[in-house]
Amino acid sequence: MENVFYEGQVLWSQIDANMHLRHSAYADFGAQARLNLLEKSGFSTALFYKLNLGPILFREELIYLKEVKMNDTVRVTCAMTKMRQDGSRWSYKHEIYRSDGVKAAEINVDGAWIDTLKRKITGLPPDLILQLGDIPKSDNYVEDWIPEN
């Protein structure tokens, strides 16, 4: 399995009344995978603070395929599917796998970078856009995508 950016045990606190992984825990796993991917690519939280940048989401789609139960281990992949040329807007796809290798869920997110002082969407400095070149891309990756408004 390629591009695993989070691996961990499903905890009791992540289980719902039906005794399987609660819906919002899937989103939490995806968010942690994205942050781990960014950290590995040189985008640390310290850098975010220094540049007054923060990631924001516009859309998060979760597609549930199979149950995940307590004490199972999940592996979460992460690949960029779209990005504006200036790095301002982006999309990622995550796949969550159970320990038996079965794909349990897919997560698709659309987001952007926000200037935390101006509270406006912003592009990235050119050197950081180059760093994004190391991030895994999906097979259908689209660059210079313009989102529909």
CATH number for 93: 3.10.129.10
Residue 88 within a domain: yes
Q: Which two tokens stand for residue 43?
A: 């985008």
Residue 147 within a domain: no
Q: Which two tokens stand for residue 146?
A: 């313009």
Inform me whether the pLDDT recorded for 109 exceeds 60: yes
Residue 149 within a domain: no
Residue 13 within a domain: yes
15 is in which domain, residue-wise? 4-141
CA gap 70, 148 in Å, rounded:
39
| pTM greater than 0.85 (yes/no) | yes
Residue 136 within a domain: yes
**Domains of the chain: total:** 1
Inform me whether the pLDDT recorded for 129 exceeds 60: yes
